[in-house]
Amino acid sequence: MVIPIVKLGTLALRSISKPIANKLKQGAGLHPTFRDLIINLAQANHRFSTTMQRRIYGRSTDILIRPLNEERAVQAAATLLGELFIFTVAGAAIIYEVQRSAKAEARKEQQRRQEIEALAQKNRYLEKELEHLTQKLQQIEAMYQRRSLKDYFNYRPWSAKTI
């Protein structure tokens, strides 16, 4: 019962994260200090991605990279923040699912170990019982072999009074 609820909860969390990311995008450029921070983040991301693209295509990376204008930088940073938020939520949900699955597997493994131990204990008991019965059988066979031939001829399975 708990597993479907947990899975529905993580699915709901992932679905809710997209509108939250959109709200973050909308409100990203409103506060002046935060706006300066995300502009710097967007400019650094732009320089890094442009340099990587130039290296991939085999072009020179010694050139001056033009910075983004302020509005475009805010939009790029807001998009980056939104995607980062969605990625973080999805990553946290995956980590939670993996840990929950690992705990369930550990419980199953512990139960298997207990079952194996119970079977081993039963096996040891049965081995002792077999050894005990084997000893009794050997004693009975020894007693049987010690009987004399006379005992075989005098053996009467029925009572003399019944005849």
CA-wise closest residue to 20 among 76, 70, 74, 90: 90
Cβ 10 vs Cβ 95: under 8 Å: no
Quote the pTM value: 0.55
Q: Which residues are CB-contacts of 100 (< 8 A; sequence separation ≥ 6)?
A: 6
Give the position of tokens 């693209």.
Answer: 53
**pLDDT-based confidence at 108, cuts 50/70/90?**
very high
Note the pLDDT tens digit of each residue in 59-101: 887 788 888 898 888 888 888 888 888 888 888 888 888 898 8
- The confidence band for 156, taking pLDDT boundaries of 50, 70 and 90, is low
Q: Which two tokens stand for residue 12?
A: 């709901």
pLDDT for residue 98: 87
Domain assignments of the chain as residue spans, ordered by start: 2-108
Residue 15 structure tokens: 């679905």
Question: Which pLDDT belongs to residue 34?
Answer: 81
Q: How confident is the model at residue 122, as a pLDDT?
A: 97
